[in-house]
């Protein structure tokens, strides 16, 4: 996988915070596939978890969804989303302390309305959804 493709889709780690921007890639492009994105994210998570403090304190996950469209949702498909959710909720060795989703649109909100009933109760309490707000105040930029 080329460095440019990894740079365009992967998360950026900062201490125990993980920031991700969804929608920065073209889902109709043949240059990138689901496995490329998953591998890039696994590399970031493995690096973050190499610090014991992150394992103890938990991770804070920020995702900017301002560019997320129905094409991005279709790119993943329902089977892959179910598999990913199962991994995050039950098999991931780290602990998500908080998950913040910013600039959500109707596509993401509809997806959450469908998936929220199937989330474990502890994850429901940890998820916060914000519409039209910027990351800067939370990251101290």
d(CA 98, CA 112): 16
- pLDDT of amino acid 9: 39
Helix (H, G, I), strand (E, B), or coil: what is residue 15? Answer: coil
Does residue 133 have a pLDDT over 80? no
Burial of 37 (0-12, 13-18, 19+ CB in 10 A): buried
State the pLDDT confidence band at 136, using cuts at 50, 70 and 90: low
pTM of the model: 0.72
Does residue 14 have a pLDDT over 70? no
Write out pLDDT tens, residues 24-54.
Answer: 788 888 888 888 888 887 788 888 888 888 7
Q: Find out whether 7 and 43 touch, Cβ atoms under 8 Å.
A: no
- pLDDT of amino acid 102: 84
Region 65-69 average pLDDT: 85
Residue 106: which of 76, 65, 140, 136 has the closest Cα?
A: 65
């Amino acid at each position: 996988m080329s460095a440019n493709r990894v740079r365009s889709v992967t998360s950026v780690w900062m201490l125990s915070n993980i920031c991700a921007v969804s929608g920065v890639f073209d889902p109709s492009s043949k240059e990138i596939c689901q496995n490329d994105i998953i591998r890039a994210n696994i590399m970031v998570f493995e690096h973050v978890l190499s610090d014991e403090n992150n394992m103890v304190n938990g991770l804070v996950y920020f995702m900017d969804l301002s560019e997320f469209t129905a094409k991005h949702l279709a790119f993943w498909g329902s089977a892959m989303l179910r598999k990913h959710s199962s991994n995050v909720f039950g098999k991931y060795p780290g602990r998500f302390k908080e998950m913040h989703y910013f600039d959500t649109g109707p596509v993401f909100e509809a997806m959450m309305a469908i998936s929220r009933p199937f989330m474990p109760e502890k994850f429901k309490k940890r998820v916060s959804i914000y519409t039209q707000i910027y990351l800067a105040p939370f990251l101290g930029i």
